[in-house]
């Protein structure tokens, strides 16, 4: 699985002009299931993200993880993270099938929530508008193939 994690002061996702998910301070997590990914990889990725110490402590140092900071996660399915860029036109065949991807997207949300993190979501396969204020900016790429 792949994730692009952005520390945000706020983020929201809308479908057809209606907000479907919104958080204040926390993480915007763009998540992509790849072919062959498993629920174990979802749990591994969620645990890694939950433990990332990228929130500021009282001294302004990045020492706090998401649960300790008391922040939330907005989780948005993003199959384009699977892009094969060997050509100028991206190919997305490395992404999981829609059925597997949706199952793992739902599993990942549950895995994040299991760490005591409040979650909000986009809508799988919807055309979404994501708005965020990146805090820092802090943006981190994670891939279970390299964890």
Q: Residues 53-112: pLDDT tens digits?
A: 999 999 999 999 999 999 999 999 999 999 999 999 999 999 999 999 999 999 999 999
Among 140, 17, 23, smallest CA distance to 75 is for: 23
Domain that holds residue 22: 2-143
| Residues forming beta bridges with residue 111, ordered by sequence position | none
The per-residue pLDDT for 87 is 94
pLDDT tens digits, one per residue of 34-57: 999 999 999 999 999 999 999 999
Among 51, 54, 55, 39, smallest CA distance to 110 is for: 39
Q: Where are the beta strands (DSSP E) in the chain?
A: 2-15, 18-23, 26-32, 55-56, 62-64, 72-77, 118-121, 128-143
pLDDT tens digits, one per residue of 97-121: 999 999 999 999 999 999 999 999 9
The per-residue pLDDT for 98 is 98
Q: Quick check: 122 and 21 in contact, CB under 8 A?
A: yes
Q: Residue 132's Cα: distance from chain center in Å?
A: 13
The total of structural domains in the chain comes to: 1
The answer to pTM > 0.85 is: yes
CATH code of the domain in which 66 resides: 3.50.80.10
Q: Annotated catalytic sites, by residue?
A: 78-80
């Amino acid at each position: 699985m792949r994730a692009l994690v952005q520390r945000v002061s706020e983020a929201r996702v809308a479908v057809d002009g209606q907000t479907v998910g919104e958080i204040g301070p926390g993480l915007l997590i763009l998540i992509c299931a790849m072919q062959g990914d498993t629920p174990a990889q979802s749990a591994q990725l969620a645990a890694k993200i939950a433990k990332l110490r990228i929130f500021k402590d009282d001294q302004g140092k990045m020492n706090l993880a998401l649960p300790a900071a008391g922040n939330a996660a907005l989780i948005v399915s993003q199959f384009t993270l699977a892009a094969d860029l060997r050509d100028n036109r991206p190919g997305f065949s490395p992404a999981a099938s829609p059925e597997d991807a949706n199952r793992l997207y739902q599993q990942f949300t549950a895995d994040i929530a299991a760490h005591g993190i409040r979650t909000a979501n986009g809508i799988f396969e919807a055309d979404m508008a994501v708005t965020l204020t990146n805090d820092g900016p802090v943006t981190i790429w994670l891939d279970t193939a390299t964890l």
